[in-house]
Structure 1
């Protein structure tokens, strides 16, 4: 059982659960714009974690990995700009 708790996938899963709980708690932050920004950034951090670990992009060719990470960053940035206008 202790081997399961030390695997990389278990650690990433725990981080995803923690990020989900944290994004739920950000609703109580100061303003709506701050909460939206924090939730979007957390959501795209979770997208990156899922893509790298559970979709095995960590072992993909570097070009594919960088395209995925670039897409996630640009999409997050575009949504942040659109939601905070």
Structure 2
């Protein structure tokens, strides 16, 4: 049973649970600055996505091109989502 607690997957799973709690705390205590809290939640969520993709979908040891595509997709998603959150577009009339 002790090997289970020292397993890489168990440690990552516990970190993912901790990140979920962090996201929950950021959303609950946002106060007036909801955009900053939402940005933090998005970034924490995408860090979680990265760990799931690399470790639980086993892309950590995949061919370099496959891993690069996954990493770039996550980075692009982070840039697009946070930019959409911070840039205010004029209302459509």
Q: TM tier, shorter chain? A: over 0.9
Tell me what 1:51 maps to: 53
CA distance in 2 between counterparts of 1:6 and 1:29 reads: 35
Alignment size in residue pairs: 85
- The Cα of 1:59 is off from its aligned counterpart by 1.1
User: What's the Cα RMSD here?
Assistant: 0.8
Note if 1:6 corresponds to 2:3: no
* Structure 1 consecutive aligned stretches of length 4 or more whose deviation exceeds 6 Å: none
What TM-score do the two structures reach when normalised by structure 1? 0.96
Q: How do 1:5-84 and structure 2 match up within 5 A? A: 5-27=5-27, 28-30=29-31, 31-84=33-86
Instruction: Map Cα deviations across residues 34-84 of structure 1 (whole Å, 9 max, x no partner).
Output: 111100000100000000000000110011101100010011110100011
